[in-house]
Amino acid sequence: MKTVLITGCSSGFGLETARYFLDRDWQVIATMRTPREDLLPHSERLRVLALDITDPESIRQAVEAAGPLDVLVNNAGIGMLGALEGTSMETAREVFETNTLGTMAMIQAVLPQFRQRKTGVIVNVTSSVTLKSLPLLSVYTASKAAINAFTESLALELRQFNVRVNLVLPGRAPETRFGENAQPRMHNGIPEAYADLAQNVFPGWAQSTAVTRALDVAEAVWHAANDPACPLRLAAGADAVALAGSC
């Protein structure tokens, strides 16, 4: 029986992905900053562990407690919307600390076991905003585009150890808590000089009917985890697939 460790399982894509793998008889290690046993169906194949990907000691403890893994899914991430001029460097660092450095730290923590056993798959969840740039998302986009480039280089480095690294690029998913969770970082994010731009672009986003469902992301992660022939980049969701096709 294979084992997957997924980061950020308290909601959204991570929670749905944990459910998806559980339904398909995998052992699932669902990690969350604040562990909750009531979010997923009870199963002997499920373990819920505490993990904050910005905390080295938390990472060490979670990876040690998890034991041997077959797949690591780096899903945990935070968002922010705002003009660069309205973004403090503290907020920019927070975004990179989680989305970029947290992902790298998780991979560093599992690589010794993958390399020694000459097997393993890493799936990094980034975003379709890296396929087509949108205004007022520069810092978030940069944090995810960095992981795209990092993944492509790392894949070449790890091929010799039979360790696969893949990207899943979801589109916009209004059903998750992503927007709500980003709110505290968006205070004063749109200075007056950018108000017109914001007024012009936000309604267009809200109107777009093609969106991504959490299930689309779970299916893409499943595909990446199980199919050695899977392309390195996998768009997830109708909007992301359309963007990927037009790039």
Ligand X SMILES: NC(=O)c1ccc[n+]([C@@H]2O[C@H](COP(=O)([O-])OP(=O)(O)OC[C@H]3O[C@@H](n4cnc5c(N)ncnc54)[C@H](OP(=O)(O)O)[C@@H]3O)[C@@H](O)[C@H]2O)c1
Tokens of 120: 């393993």
Residue 87 contacts ligand X per CB under 6 A: no
Query: Is residue 166 at the binding interface for ligand X, with CB under 6 A as the rule?
Result: no
The smaller minimum CB distance to ligand X, of residues 52 and 219, is found at 52
In the sheet that 46-50 helps form, which strands lie side by side, from edge to edge? 46-50, 27-32, 3-6, 71-74, 120-125, 163-170, 233-236
Using the rule CB under 6 A, which residue among 4, 22, 53, 190 binds ligand X?
53
Q: How far is the CB of 118 from ligand X (least distance, A)?
A: 28
113 binds ligand X (CB under 6 A): no
- The Cα 244–Cα 144 span in angstroms is 16
Determine, following the binding rule CB under 6 A, whether residue 244 of this chain makes contact with ligand X.
no
Stretch of 50-58, 131-139, 183-191, 198-206 lying at the interface with ligand X (CB under 6 A): 50-58
140 given a catalytic annotation: yes
Binds ligand X by CB under 6 A, chosen from 119, 162, 181, 226: 181
Among 172, 185, 213, 233, binds ligand X (CB under 6 A): 172
* Catalytic member of 26, 114, 140, 178: 140
**Cβ atoms within 10 Å, residue 192:** 7
Q: Which is nearer to ligand X, 116 or 220 (CB)?
A: 220
Does residue 103 bind ligand X (CB under 6 A)? Answer: no
Q: Which of 157, 177, 188, 195 binds ligand X (CB under 6 A)?
A: 177
Residue 78 near ligand X by CB under 6 A: yes
The single residue among 14, 82, 86, 120 that binds ligand X, judged by CB under 6 A, is: 14
Site size for ligand X (CB under 6 A): 30
Known catalytic residues? Answer: 140
- Contact footprint for ligand X (CB under 6 A): 7-8, 10-14, 32-34, 51-54, 75-79, 98, 102, 125, 127, 170, 172-173, 176-178, 181
